[in-house]
Amino acid sequence: MPVLVMKFGGTSVATLDRIRRAAKRVSVEVAKGYDVIVIVSAMSGKTNELVGWVTEISPMYDAREYDAVVSSGENITAGLMALTLQEMEIPARSWQGWQVPVLTNSAHSSARIEEIPSVNIAAKFAEGMRVAVVSGFQGVSPEKRITTLGRGGSDTTAVAFAAALKAERCDIYTDVDGVYTTDPRVSPKARKLEKIAYEEMLELASLGAKVLQTRSVELAMRFNVPLRVLSSFEEPNDQAGTLVCAEEDIMESNVVAGVAFSRDEAKMTLVSVADRPGIAATIFTGLSEAGVNVDMIVQNIAEEGRTDMTWSCPTDQVTRAEKAMSDAKDSGVINYHELIADKDVAKVSVVGIGMRSHTGVAAKMFRVLSAEGINIRVITTSEIKISVLIDRKYVELAVQALHDSFDLDKTS
Ligand code: ADP
Ligand code: ASP
Ligand code: MG
């Protein structure tokens, strides 16, 4: 029988009533003849609560125990969903990551799925099970410890299952009815997209649009999984939601497809380092070894053999970066005057594959921000995106102004 993957996010399983509503959606697909893999998140707020408990007990926690605790929210919803389906006379069974097994590497708290052998689940489908309810967000390491896939990781579980079981489609049920031109919570004029190209979705996700975890889009693109994002609160039809698909399957699109933002950014500047070959290598090797994910980088023009080096990284990695740099200074590897950390910045980005063939997008973006009196601190570009770092208090203003100026509320 054809296989369908249906993923329900935290708000879609937040109460027993919502679990029943989701189960009803599943029953419709079962009735159509699909064997269904349901991927569930923890009830909304649960994962945050578990993370809070871990960090309260142990601020510098052992990541293996973090995963043991934080993965547990999904197990509750998986069991409850299986029971709900059974009450509806649908043969269903819950599966934790290790039971499938979802094999990952050992990078606790941000593990990557390496393989999902489908034999166990396939055998149960052959015996008459119609729904496998799998705990999202978790797997098992080669050392047989429980791992988690990073926040939002259930999306990735869903796509990985769709690829492994050659599902017809992967449906992501969430609290919005699709992918919008920007976060609908920030811009009331945000427009729902009927389709979006994998590459654009990948950029939007990695630049802050948390509607899909970045890695899930990467996998969908690699394995050509048709991915649909839709609301669990509305009556679905075949056209519902947004289809994330190959560029060739989209007839027309705007030059800019969407605006993304991330409030969780910090800007750090190492003041007065020696301007000599190897200095960037030394600084960024130190940061990388300390586990700091550096995003943007700017090196100022040197004066009298000294220069400033600026980078951005997630706010919660500032302390780690400061320690790495002061250790490097103490051991004499680098010499600098001071390290300035600005935690009140945010990144705003415009994304669109149309930028490959259209010029002037960057110039227009800078004009729009300047007209709003917003100062740009750092700029980076790639083939299909332009990102700027600005003061955090201007995020909403910047997003709305860019959304208006690029006419994202209208189709081209
Ligand atoms: P779930 O719990 O179902 O995984 P998430 O909270 O992770 O849901 O993701 C859905 C949220 O993503 C929406 O409520 C919305 O605020 C946010 N979001 C950010 N950018 C976008 C976008 N471009 N389109 C749709 N939703 C977006
Ligand atoms: N429950 C996890 C989280 O909140 C995983 C997910 O929902 O995707 O990040
Ligand atoms: Mg999510």
Q: pLDDT for 188-225, tens place per residue?
A: 999 999 999 999 999 999 999 999 999 999 999 999 99
| 288 within domain boundaries | no
Tokens found for residue 72: 């547990």
pLDDT per position as a tens digit, 73-130: 999 999 999 999 999 999 999 999 999 999 999 999 999 999 999 999 999 999 999 9
- What does the alpha-carbon distance between residue 322 and residue 202 come to, in Å, rounded to a whole number? 30
CA atoms 164, 166, 172, 178: torsion sign: positive
pLDDT at position 29 is 96
Which residue, 282, 334, 137, 120, is CA-closest to 216? 137
Q: Counting ligands in written order, which one lies closest to the CA of residue 13?
A: 1
Domain span including residue 92? 3-175
pLDDT at position 237 is 74
Tokens found for residue 107: 């990078």
* CA of 175 relative to ligand 1 center, distance in Å: 7
- What does the alpha-carbon distance between residue 386 and residue 84 come to, in Å, rounded to a whole number? 46
pLDDT at position 46 is 98
| 354 within domain boundaries | no
What ligand 1 atom has the least distance to the C-alpha of 185?
16
pLDDT at position 296 is 95
- What does the alpha-carbon distance between residue 77 and residue 136 come to, in Å, rounded to a whole number? 10
CA atoms 76, 82, 85, 86: torsion sign: negative
User: Directed axis angle between helix 318-330 and helix 279-289, to 10°?
Assistant: 130
- What does the alpha-carbon distance between residue 353 and residue 32 come to, in Å, rounded to a whole number? 36
Binding site membership of 176 for ligand 1 (Cβ less than 6 Å) = yes
What ligand 2 atom has the least distance to the C-alpha of 152?
8
pLDDT at position 332 is 92
Kindly report the CATH number assigned to the domain that includes residue 80. Answer: 3.40.1160.10
| 277 within domain boundaries | no
- Name the band, by pLDDT with cuts 50, 70 and 90, for residue 234: confident
Mean pLDDT of 173-202: 96
- Name the band, by pLDDT with cuts 50, 70 and 90, for residue 238: low
Residue 344, pLDDT above cutoff 90? yes
Which residue of 181, 192, 210 sits with most ligand 1 atoms within 8 Å of its CB, as the best mutation to test the pocket? 210
pLDDT at position 19 is 98
266 vs 253, more confident: 266
364, 329 Cβ separation under 8 angstroms: no
What percent of the chain is modeled with pLDDT above 70? 100
Among left, alpha and beta (phi > 0; psi -120 to 50; other), residue 339 is: beta
Q: Counting ligands in written order, which one lies closest to the CA of residue 8?
A: 1
Averaged pLDDT score across all residues of the chain: 95
Between the CA of residue 175 and those of 12, 129, 225, 233, 243, what are the distances in Å? 7, 29, 22, 7, 16
pLDDT per position as a tens digit, 21-56: 999 999 999 999 999 999 999 999 999 999 999 999
Mean pLDDT of 349-372: 95
Q: Rg for the chain (alpha carbons), in Å?
A: 23
10 Å Cβ neighbour count for 24? 12
| 160 within domain boundaries | yes
- Indicate the range of 56-60, 67-71, 256-260, 371-375 predicted with least confidence: 56-60
pLDDT at position 59 is 82
List beta partners, residue 35: 3
142 exposure class (CB count in 10 Å sphere: 0-12, 13-18, 19+): exposed
Domain count, the chain: 1
Mean pLDDT of 244-265: 90
What percent of the chain is modeled with pLDDT above 90? 92
What ligand 1 atom has the least distance to the C-alpha of 154?
4
The owner of tokens 């992918």 is: 179
pLDDT at position 166 is 96
| 210 within domain boundaries | no
Tokens found for residue 246: 């190959």
- Name the band, by pLDDT with cuts 50, 70 and 90, for residue 300: confident
Ligand 2, atom 8: nearest CA belongs to which residue? 152
| 149 within domain boundaries | yes
* CA of 192 relative to ligand 1 center, distance in Å: 12
- Indicate the range of 166-175, 296-305, 341-350, 389-398 predicted with least confidence: 296-305
| 274 within domain boundaries | no
Residue 315, pLDDT above cutoff 80? yes
| 328 within domain boundaries | no
State pTM to two decimals. Answer: 0.93
Residues 6+ apart with CB under 8 A from 205: 211, 212, 213, 214, 216, 217, 260
Q: Report strand pairing: 146-148 vs 138-140.
A: antiparallel
- What does the alpha-carbon distance between residue 46 and residue 225 come to, in Å, rounded to a whole number? 29
Tokens found for residue 169: 């489609």
Mean pLDDT of 358-370: 95
